[in-house]
A and B are shown apart, each in its own frame.
Chain A
């Protein structure tokens, strides 16, 4: 060992590239890095644009862009951006094959994980159909607040039903007392406007789609519904909700308590 040079640094080969013939450390030109950064900016702008454009087109021109376009485009752009980062910033393009294989295996494991977990979404109800009545949209509301940091919510926990309804019930009167009914309605309307009209809820095994929203992949009637020329983002909701409901004839979905009919009235009166 003592015969070897003291330093790994070799003045004739300051980068140490040629010490071992087969090995090269790649230095990526800054032009490429900058170009990738700019491309990433462009794609970020693009994905925001398509998301906003959909809302704008629906609201202004009444275009009905099917919901799946949104998620497919957003994910495609995300994959392109991710690929750029992995290939150039992380330099996988110039890297050893083993690292590439490793990364691909990782992606495959993620894919398997998500896909196989999603397998049993649509057919849980087929095994336990007789239990359908036990399910409440938004959770049974049983057993929270007595445990962990959520203590002190006993007032809410005394009521029955899912948490969002409990919270609404307990807060509504309080809010109106403090700020008046006007403010409450305004706030509620602002909320409604942000994400379209209220429709029938989904439950554990049925996704009920809303036009303008990305549909659940496994929900029935989604693909047939795409040709329909209606959308709910600016107008009546009830009829369309009905027609959607009919598309799920096989679903034994009862009227799980929503308890928010009054909000429709609030809306209409506004």
Chain B
């Protein structure tokens, strides 16, 4: 396995004034030790992820029900979407998930430089995802009148519930995109804290938490992509 980047792991008490935050950090006062605090944070994050999954499950449920009630409307709606943009976005998100996992690994090994690079890649992948979504999908489709519900204005619709399809499409991808934006904010915050040397082998709880959140965003897209773009 990789070796520790000794350049950045200044030992305390050697006269070096710049002892990093992560080296000083012990644990909150109400915890018995740092391990308990870390485990608790992990359980907390997983519980939070549970709420995220259930939030999205509402959209999946709506999709499933309308899919079962009006299959050809949903299939027709799906055929308006280009799998190439969806596929590209899948790849972008998968890469970002990978770099996020790598960033955590870097921090665990105190490779601060690579952690920063990986976080930056993650951040730009997230931005790229949103850009692709907005420029190649939302804006053209909205312009063509492919809008949800009462705003529906697409004159070539053939099936009865296409407006409902667009409702599901915009809301589910929109909530997902909101989560991507939230993830970008969190990753930017990680970058700032990482720059201040807040994370290191003994203290990287925040990285881990944001990482898990970011993976769940990826996970939701892994299911949204085939359901919206490929199932017909």
When the two chains form their complex, are residues A8 and B34 in contact, meaning their CB atoms are under 8 A apart?
Answer: yes
B151 is contacted by which of A74, A82, A149 (Cβ under 8 Å)? Answer: A149
Q: B182 near A: Cβ within 8 Å? A: no
A interface footprint on B171-205 (CB within 8 Å = 1, 0 otherwise)? 00000000000000000000000000000111100
Q: B139 near A: Cβ within 8 Å? A: no
Distance A108 CA – B98 CA, assembled complex (angstroms): 27
Report the tally of A-B residue pairs with Cβ distances under 8 A.
268
When the two chains form their complex, are residues B156 and A187 in contact, meaning their CB atoms are under 8 A apart?
Answer: yes
When the two chains form their complex, are residues B43 and A207 in contact, meaning their CB atoms are under 8 A apart?
Answer: no
When the two chains form their complex, are residues B155 and A99 in contact, meaning their CB atoms are under 8 A apart?
Answer: no
The size class of the interface chain B forms with chain A is 35 or more
Distance A264 CA – B97 CA, assembled complex (angstroms): 47
When the two chains form their complex, are residues B43 and A195 in contact, meaning their CB atoms are under 8 A apart?
Answer: no
- In the complex, chain B residues whose CB is within 8 Å of the CB of A20: 33, 35
Stretch at the interface among A113-121, A126-134, A223-231, A246-254: A113-121
B149 is contacted by which of A28, A102, A150, A202 (Cβ under 8 Å)? Answer: A150
Distance A86 CA – B49 CA, assembled complex (angstroms): 11
The size class of the interface chain A forms with chain B is 35 or more
Chain A positions within 8 Å of B, measured between CB atoms, are 6-9, 11, 14-16, 19-20, 23, 25, 27-30, 33-34, 36-37, 40-41, 44, 47-48, 51-52, 55, 70-71, 74-75, 77-78, 81-82, 85-86, 88-91, 95-96, 98-99, 102-103, 105-107, 109-110, 113-114, 117-118, 121, 137-139, 144-145, 148-150, 153, 162-164, 167-168, 170-172, 175, 187-188, 191-192, 194-195, 198-199, 201-202, 204-205, 207-210, 212-219, 260, 263
Name 5 extra pairs, CB < 8 A, besides A36-B98, A138-B161, A164-B159.
A19-B34, A48-B83, A98-B43, A195-B158, A213-B75
Chain B positions within 8 Å of A, measured between CB atoms, are 1-2, 4, 9, 11-12, 19, 22-27, 33-35, 38-39, 42-43, 46-47, 49-50, 53-54, 57-58, 60-61, 64-65, 67-73, 75-76, 78-80, 83, 87, 90-91, 94-95, 97-98, 100-102, 105, 108-110, 145, 149-163, 200-203, 211-212, 215-216, 218-219, 222-223, 225-227, 229-232
